[in-house]
Copies of this chain bind each other. A is one copy, B any other.
């Protein structure tokens, strides 16, 4: 498989082409954003749907991550997708494939942590599936709600828009590298930016948004490709002790990148969380991100590039 996100993009591009959605369908947005959008007939609300795998050996390690860590991070990935589209979570389905090494206690602790985090974000556990295999895998499907036609998408950024990022980047990557300190805590306790997502959608007239799950360089590029634009950025704000590379490319941040019209006022902070302007959307070959005058390669985390 080729490096970067080429392989994953080849599959999703192909599927988007093949999985045609009839114009009359209640599915108003399919493959290619953080969530699919479904518009039930007669409903004032659009429903957002996302699903995320969390797999032993790829997303977590048996020796490193305890059952509650696995549960919290698996759910956070999906919650963060809902946040990126400005939605509020409604319910989740959780599929858990257990392995020989996961005993009853592990399973109970997994679900206890999952239910605690779900309750914190007003999310109901409505169902799922239990299975068994050689490794542990967890797939979380989350449904969110957003006012009809108002979901934030990746494809609305326009040249001249200002690019913002929330929080301080690179902490999760640093934590995973060192396994200690505040960065490790940050890695283990992701905070999906649901309040921020709603604020950005409703109050900042954002033109696009995405969450940083695979790294700033890769996720910003996804916005650029979807919107048919480029981006020019400076160094993003860094978590203490983090290298510029970790801030640019580190994954599992669950902060939001969003773009707003150039004259839109954006506060320095939202509920204590820094909001920092890192650049501007430009007209440019599809998808290019310019950093300090050069094209920034998308080196963010891509599971398919690990082969």
Contact = CB atoms under 8 A, between A and B. Distances in A.
Contact of A139 (B95, B104, B126, B132): B95
A123 to B, nearest CB: 10
A204 interface: no
A107 B11 contact: yes
A21 B43 CA distance: 21
Contacts of A44: 41-42
A67 interface: no
- Count of chain copies: 2
A120 interface: no
A46 to B, nearest CB: 10
A97 interface: yes
Nearest to A29: B126
Nearest to A107: B11
Nearest to A37: B126
A48 to B, nearest CB: 10
Interface residues of A, number: 70
Contacts of A128: 31, 51
Contact of A100 (B11, B59, B108, B307): B307
A150 B305 CA distance: 47
Contact of A130 (B12, B21, B56, B98): B12
Interface string A46-63: 010111110111110000
Interface in A238-258: none
A53 B8 contact: no
A19 interface: yes
Contacts of A111: 11, 14-15, 18
Contacts of A129: 51-53, 139
A127 B36 contact: yes
B132 A35 contact: no
Contacts of A27: 90-91, 124, 126
A1 B44 CA distance: 47
Nearest to A28: B126
A226 interface: no
Given A45-B41, A132-B58, A31 B127 contact: yes
A264 interface: no
A102 to B, nearest CB: 10
Given A30-B127, A53-B131, 16 more contacts: A14-B108, A18-B115, A19-B115, A21-B126, A25-B124, A30-B124, A40-B40, A41-B45, A47-B47, A49-B93, A52-B95, A53-B129, A55-B97, A55-B133, A132-B304, A135-B135
11 contacts: A12-B130, A19-B125, A19-B126, A30-B126, A36-B126, A40-B42, A40-B43, A42-B43, A56-B133, A58-B131, A131-B303
